[in-house]
Structure 1
Amino acid sequence: MTTIEVPLDSKLRLLTFADEQGRARLGVVRPDGHVTDVAETARHADRWLCFDGTSMRALIEGGAEALAEVRELAELGLHNGFKVSEAHILPPLPRLNGNIFCVGWNYVEHFSEGAAFRDPNQKLPEHPLFFSKGVAALNGPFDPIPYDAAISAQVDWEAELGVVIGRRGKNITEFEALDYVFGYTAINDVSARDIQKARHGGQWLKGKSLDGTAPMGPWIVPAGDFDASAVRIITRVNGVVKQDGNTRDMYFNIPRIIAELSRGMTLQPGDVISTGTPSGVGMGRTPPEWLKPGDVLETEIEGIGTMRNVIHEA
């Protein structure tokens, strides 16, 4: 049984879990460590929902009305469900719209620690640097991360705050950008450095998109319950802290990221943006450190929760 810590506060935490038939269900994790099944709670309370109560995507697309309904159901407390430690927790969005949008070099110290691995003339960018992780990289918050030394022996960690888009938008201004955010989650941009930096010509997409290298979760905290401007981002490997940063040190803040990404490009409800990692990655250490089979990778976002993934030899 997985030990899962639930912060003791009033934030609404929305998760997707698998039922006994393996079907994705929408739930609310309560401070007492139990999961409330949204659709089942609505049935018990004889409530009609304006959205499909089994689906995180439907909740996001349902907007403020749908979220208000979930919040009311959570407050009723009629159906406490089961312990979160007994659940198979899936990524909050088990099926993505497309690739995860990622921001590179968004913390100055992280940019500096990678200097030896890039062109010495490279300067900090004037605009956010975007790349992506393929959909097959998506992984659950407590599922194993595949490792194959024949593919990459330089597997690194990158804890990041994830932003989940809640409304369709294009050419969004910085002033209105946060109105387009549904909520926040944790992501680890696990990276194959030898592929990303050198092998096969320096392939960022491939080096960032190996199967299972984007654990996400363990849940989403709605934007109205979460101030993302100054929260800690922590990585532990086998219990040892490797990264301990703060979102206040972002080079480009979240409104700027959303505004730049949406210029000429439509963002959709359920799109996910991974906002960059602070310093402390394995690549920047002396000597470099790489994940290996059996390692336990923990990714914590203050106020959201902690993921725990074991590196598993494929």
Structure 2
Amino acid sequence: MKLVRFGEAGEEKPGVIDGKGRLRDLSDHVHDIAGGQLARLGEISRLDLDALPVVSEEVRYGPCVGGVGKFICIGLNYADHAAESGMALPEEPVIFAKYTSAICGPNDPILIPRGAEKVDWEVELGLVIGKPAKYVSEEDALDHLAGYCLINDVSERSYQLERAGQWSKGKSSDNFGPVGPWLVTPDEIADADALDMWLEVNGELMQEGTTATMVFKPAALISYLSQFFTLQPGDIISTGTPAGVGMGMAPQRFLRDGDVVTLGIEGLGEQRQLCVADA
């Protein structure tokens, strides 16, 4: 299934994309695509989608999962990105937090913060947890997965790397976490370890890669994180980005007011964001 949340920010309704690509309203069956509702995905899969109301008007897609408790990011999880960043390949996953206030819809604008100088892009595969995971083995890890999604891990590099403290303040500005458009259940993804991914700025290809080059794969990441804290339904893990970010270019290139970012991952849809100076 391709599950969505649609409507105005903060008032999103649950929906599903049918076999013909039409948006169907799930409001009569689930309250939201969030938290404990993710345990009911089996029930949703048994619904007759053709009997659900079609949403015919053009609507905004919100983040494909609501009520996110933890937004966990993995750094330097692609060898080529670690190299372009001038950092050593980690022996264990590098973990940092992206605060949930950064989460927005897949086509909402990227807000350029006041004083920002180095706003960057990162196309990433997202993992959405479907049931609690604590001390799980790598073999059992994917049993705790609700599905996959597309994420742009927007970053302000001067905040992240040139000012004191940890990475989170360079990763968590408002609208620095576009998520969606869809939460795609695992049955629709034949091999999450071999998905093509890409990102363009103003129509120019910047990133082109594949999840096959991830250092730590989804099952390994879920298992690893669950050794330190319980993963809860609705938690998101953003699994890292391949080479091609602005920070790694010579000369470096960063986002400015008016730029347009488009990105996608095979089977997970596409995003489009206009960059806008924050008021």
With the shorter chain as reference, the TM-score category is: over 0.9
Matched, 1:97 2:69: yes
What letter matches 2:66 in structure 1?
Answer: P
1:1-314 equivalence runs, <5 A: 12-18=1-7, 23-40=11-28, 49=29, 53-57=30-34, 60-61=37-38, 63=39, 66-73=40-47, 75-83=48-56, 86-98=58-70, 100-115=71-86, 123-148=88-113, 150-198=114-162, 200-201=163-164, 203-226=166-189, 227-314=191-278
User: 2:230 and 2:19 mapped to 1: Cα distance?
Assistant: 36
What letter matches 1:166 in structure 2?
Answer: G
SS at match of 1:39: coil
Gaps of 5+ in 1: 1-11, 41-48, 116-121
SS at match of 2:133: coil
SS at match of 1:256: helix
Larger helix proportion of the pair: 1
Name the residue aligned to 1:9. Answer: none
Structure 1 residue runs of 4 or more that deviate by more than 6 Å after TM superposition: none
User: 1:304 and 1:205 mapped to 2: Cα distance?
Assistant: 26
Describe the shift of the 1:126–1:28 C-alpha distance in structure 2 as closer, same or farther (beyond 3 A). Answer: same
What letter matches 2:106 in structure 1?
Answer: P
Alignment root-mean-square deviation, CA: 1.8
Which has more radius of gyration? 1
Identity rate, percent: 39
SS at match of 1:306: strand
User: 1:282 and 1:58 mapped to 2: Cα distance?
Assistant: 34
SS at match of 1:187: strand
Residues 6-37 of structure 1, C-alpha deviation per residue, up to 9 Å, x if partnerless?
A: xxxxxx21000126x96221101234342110
Residues 230-289 of structure 1, C-alpha deviation per residue, up to 9 Å, x if partnerless?
A: 001111111111101100100111111111111031110111000000000011011111
User: 1:189 and 1:76 mapped to 2: Cα distance?
Assistant: 32
User: 1:125 and 1:218 mapped to 2: Cα distance?
Assistant: 31
Deviates more, 1:27-36 or 1:304-313: 27-36
User: 2:128 and 2:49 mapped to 1: Cα distance?
Assistant: 26
Describe the shift of the 1:37–1:191 C-alpha distance in structure 2 as closer, same or farther (beyond 3 A). Answer: same
Question: In the TM superposition, what is the alpha-carbon distance from 1:80 to its structure 2 partner?
Answer: 4.6
Name the residue aligned to 1:46. Answer: none
CA contact 1:138–1:213 (8 Å) conserved in 2 = yes
Aligned residues: 277
User: 1:174 and 1:231 mapped to 2: Cα distance?
Assistant: 20
SS at match of 2:182: strand
User: 1:95 and 1:60 mapped to 2: Cα distance?
Assistant: 10
Q: TM-score if structure 1 supplies the norm length? A: 0.83
Describe the shift of the 1:313–1:266 C-alpha distance in structure 2 as closer, same or farther (beyond 3 A). Answer: same
User: 2:19 and 2:4 mapped to 1: Cα distance?
Assistant: 13
Gaps of 5+ in 2: none
Describe the shift of the 1:76–1:14 C-alpha distance in structure 2 as closer, same or farther (beyond 3 A). Answer: closer
